[in-house]
Amino acid sequence: MDLSRPPAPEPYSLLPAVPPLAVRSDDVGDGQPMAHPFTAQGGSTSPHLAWDGAPEGTRSFVVSCFDPDAPTPAGFWHWTVWDLPAGTTSLPTGSGSPSGAHLPTGAHHARNDGGTPGYAGAAPPEGDRPHRYVFAVHALDVETLDLPDDVTPTAVAFTALFHTLARGTLTPTFQR
């Protein structure tokens, strides 16, 4: 199978501009290859994420991980968490476990595009170019998105768009 194709645009560059949040991690670096634990073969452990700079009026957060380089017309959602309380400023390594046990009270996982709850580790096709994994943190002006538990990551992203006050991203890569 020939996987050659032009790179997808950075997904958040296509949305209305909002002020930036600073996003960092103890586990992954912007533009740097992801370590084995954060891949599908390494156990699909979600990396630590931390953020600051949320504007006044922030009432909740959405955190997501999206691969715009997946060989599909719509990319691949690896993780989506919504209704994180406004006081949340980080998620520890492993917060993306399917049970949601490490998430703050009131937060919810959407099913990833693999069909399971929680974080799905990086798993680009063998031999494909390095994929970007865009971890995004969105500060929202509502306490809850009031979405059903079976909502899709795309529906969370669409609903959050209309409530986003600020956004920050961190984009590690992975190639097999």
Where do the domains of the chain lie?
Answer: 25-174
Residue 3, pLDDT > 80, answer: no
Model pTM score: 0.96
What does the pLDDT look like over 110-162, one tens digit per residue? Answer: 999 999 999 999 999 999 999 999 999 999 999 999 999 999 999 999 999 99
**What was the pLDDT predicted at 47?**
98
Q: Which two tokens stand for residue 165?
A: 């006050």
pLDDT for 5: 77
* Amino acid 19: pLDDT: 98
Q: Please report the pLDDT score of residue 112 as a whole number.
A: 97
Place of tokens 């630590």: 48
Of 89, 51, 62, nearest to 158 (Cα)?
Answer: 62
* Ramachandran assignment for 154, one of left (phi > 0), alpha (psi -120 to 50 degrees), beta (any other): alpha
pLDDT confidence of residue 172: 98
Identity of the residue numbered 12 = Y
* 99 CB neighbour count, 10 Å cutoff: 9
What kind of fold does domain 25-174 have according to CATH?
Answer: Phosphatidylethanolamine-binding Protein (3.90.280)
pLDDT at 64: 98
Six token digits for residue 83: 């209704």
Q: Which residues make Cβ contacts (< 8 Å) with residue 100, sequence separation at least 6?
A: 107, 108, 109, 117, 118
Looking at residue 121, its pLDDT comes to 98
- Percent of the chain whose predicted confidence (pLDDT) is above 70: 98
pLDDT digits (tens, 9 = 90+) for 45-72: 999 999 999 999 999 999 999 999 999 8
Residues 6+ apart with CB under 8 A from 75: 8, 11, 66, 67, 68, 69
Q: How high is the pLDDT of residue 6?
A: 80
Annotate 153-169 with b (16+ C-beta within 10 A) or e (fewer). bebbbebbeeebbbbbb
Judge whether 129 and 49 are in contact, CB under 8 Å: no
